[in-house]
Amino acid sequence: MTGCKFGPYLIHESQIFFRSQWSIGIVNLKPIAPGHVLVIPKRIAPRLADLNKEETADLMLSAQHIGGVVEKHFKGTSLTLTIQDGPQAGQTVPHVHIHVVPRKKGDWAQNDDIYKELDQQKKGVDNEDRKPRTQEEMAVEADELRSLF
């Protein structure tokens, strides 16, 4: 398997749906909404400031491209794009990642509740409140998305 690393985690090739020169799009182990995906640099770099200019530009351009595709595919009408840059900002995986979340009218009662929900992921992948998806479930979504690029 080729795959990639996301911080300490090994990401299976079947989870990857997008590749650019310096970035990768992966489906989420514990999405907070349909189409909640992650855009990460290929290189393991904990903080945004650790990226060079090419990686930074490529990451944002990739998020822009991916955002357009997932918004349309999941029938959203807006997008939340978020970076929790460092542990005190809620980052749980020490590898820069942009959360891309398709949004719809009324999806959260209060708009900013989405940030509370992202923050609950602080408990990490062992958090019992939200069950991690299986590799098979993630592969189905990644296959669907891959066909759109």
User: Is 29 among the residues that bind ligand AMP (CB under 6 A)?
Assistant: yes
3-state SS, 79-127, equals EEEECCCCHHHCCCCCCCCEEEEEECCCCCCCCCHHHHHHHHHHHCCCC
Report H helices in the chain: 53-73, 113-120, 135-146
- Would residue 95 show up in a list of annotated catalytic residues for this protein? no
Q: Which residue has the tokens 């299976």?
A: 12
User: Is 47 among the residues that bind ligand AMP (CB under 6 A)?
Assistant: no
Taking the complex as a whole, the smallest distance from the CB of residue 66 to ligand AMP amounts, in Å, to 14
Q: How many residues bind ligand AMP (CB under 6 A)?
A: 15
- Structure tokens belonging to residue 51: 């990226």
User: Is 84 among the residues that bind ligand AMP (CB under 6 A)?
Assistant: yes
User: Is 28 among the residues that bind ligand AMP (CB under 6 A)?
Assistant: yes
Binding residues vs ligand AMP (CB under 6 A): 6, 9, 11, 26, 28-30, 38, 84, 90-93, 121, 125
Catalytic residues: 97
